[in-house]
Every structure is written in C-alpha cells, then in structure tokens.
Amino acid sequence: MNKGTIQTLSNIFPSFFAKKFYNRLLHPQVKKIRTNELETLEKAEKEVLSIQNNNIQLYKWGNGENKILLVHGWEGQAGNFSDIIEKLLVENFTIYSFDGPGHGNSSGGKNIMFEYLDTVDKVITKLDIKNIVSHSFGSVVTTFALSQIPNHKIEKYVLLTTPHTFRNYVLNISGKIGISNRAINIFLKKIEKERNEKIDELDVCKYVQKANVEKAIIIHDINDRIIPISEAKEVAKKWKKAELVEITNTGHFKMLRTPEIAEKIIEFIGNKNTTANTV
C-alpha cells in the first residue's frame, strides 16, 4: 500500500493500524550483517549475560587501559561498529559491545524496544563502564539507563545522533509511512498503559538531567534523513555537559563507517586536545 492509502485506511480503521504499527515499531526487523561486521564479531571474546529474562550476547575486543562500551541503534547489532572497533583496537582500547534484546544473537520478548531501555544500565554497572559511544536509538536507551544509575559516573560519552522525545520519534516514523493521527494516538495510549508513565516523560532531555556524565559530545549530520538534526540541537541546548558537533556527508548510518568519526571518538575519549566542529 502507498502512503496515501495507508493514511485513508488508518483513519477508517485506527485500532487495526495502531496494532500493526505497535508490532512493527516495537519489534526489530532482521537485517543482513555485512561481511566486515561478521569478521569483527568473530575476533571478539563472547559471553552471554542473563538480563531481564533475556540472554544478551556480549562481545569484548582488546585489553587496553581505556575501556569503552558501544551501544547500537534500533534494528542494529554490535557488528555495526566494526570500522570503529578496528580503529579503537589500534589505539589500545578495551572495547565492549552487545546485541540488544531481540537484536543480533540476543533473545527478546514481547516489547523489545522497552526491554532494551531496561537492559543497558545492567550492562554498564556490571562492566563498570566509564566511556560510552551510542548510535541513534542507542542514545535513547543509554541516556535512560544513565538516568536510572545516577551514582555511576561516566567520564566521556559520545552520542552518534540522538532523538529528542519518544513522541517525536514515533511521529517521524509514522509520518513517513502515512499512519493517521487517530491510529497514532491509540498507539501512544497503549504504550502509556503498558509502561505506566506518560509518553512525554520519555524524553532524552529529561534523562540527561539525571545522568552522571562528566563530558559529552553529540555528533549529528546536518542532512540526517532518519533523525533531523533539530532533535540533537534540542538535547544539546538543555544539556550543559554536551557539545553539539555538526557534520556533513555521513548521513545517519554512513557515519559508523567514516574514518574521521572514529578519529573524533578517539580524540575525545582518549583525552587528546583536539576540537572539531565539522568533519
């Protein structure tokens, strides 16, 4: 069905389309893993963690002094960071990553998106992580996790794009598909009932106010078609610990394979005195 047809039908049958959207949005689709991603995953030491009734696949590379956790986005997996991981290994980092619930080689239950929200703080505290890199929706789950563990201090945090609110995230996706506002309102009410919290409380700006982060940067492409840079600007405006680094020519996903981005991460977390506003 095209966007116009979906718009019309979801106005007529909002409950049906709200259910379809719920099942699509809260459950990740399986995506093909690139050859280089598989090669990087094969190099890792592997361990399975039992968290929130799920088996979470954990990966570790290297044994350097500087420890870092990489948190992938929605419908991603740890291998998405393969290019960045290879660069970090050269710089003598110890790198951890994991497949979120229902992603990659990890199991997942009914509401995978929210299981992801409720998992990351357990990983951070178990591994005693002080440095983090997150991508896209991974920035939402990470900031939420940090808001749940305010006594755990993070020294350096790099957000490779970030949404602002869950409401905006949903409206951005539904707008591209053509789901009507009637259906989306039913969807949001269902989420509020299940989570027992208001949708507008699901807000990265609110999470970061409770997070114990010494210093952060948000790297976001000005032409990102998945998450508009206005989302990142809103977070940066309300988070005094964070600097927004505006970049070009990387889009939303290509930044994970852009050498300059890996170098910026190493400069920032590795305490090198280099500042950049563009890449």
pLDDT tens per residue across span 237-278: 999 999 999 999 999 999 999 999 999 999 999 854 444 444
**pTM greater than 0.75 (yes/no):** yes
Q: Which two tokens stand for residue 242?
A: 């964070």
Q: What is the number of domains present in the chain?
A: 1
Q: Which domain holds residue 86?
A: 31-164+203-269
Q: pLDDT tens, 20-33?
A: 999 888 888 878 89
| Within a domain: 197 | no
Averaged pLDDT for residues 158-178: 90
Q: Does 184 fall in a domain?
A: no
Question: Which pLDDT does position 233 carry in this prediction?
Answer: 97
Count Cα neighbours of 53 within 13 Å in the Cβ-side half-sphere. 6
Residue tagged 């992580």 (tokens):
129
Residue 7 has pLDDT above 50, yes or no: yes
Q: What is the 3-state secondary structure (H, E, C) of 10-64?
A: HHHCHHHHHHHHHHHHCCCCCCCCCHHHHHHHHHCEEEEEEECCEEEEEEEECCC
Per the domain annotation, does 6 fall within a domain?
Answer: no
Contacts of 184 (CB under 8 A, 6+ apart): 18, 21, 170, 171, 174
Residue 247 backbone dihedrals phi, psi, to 5 degrees: -125, 175
Give the domain CATH number at 220. Answer: 3.40.50.1820
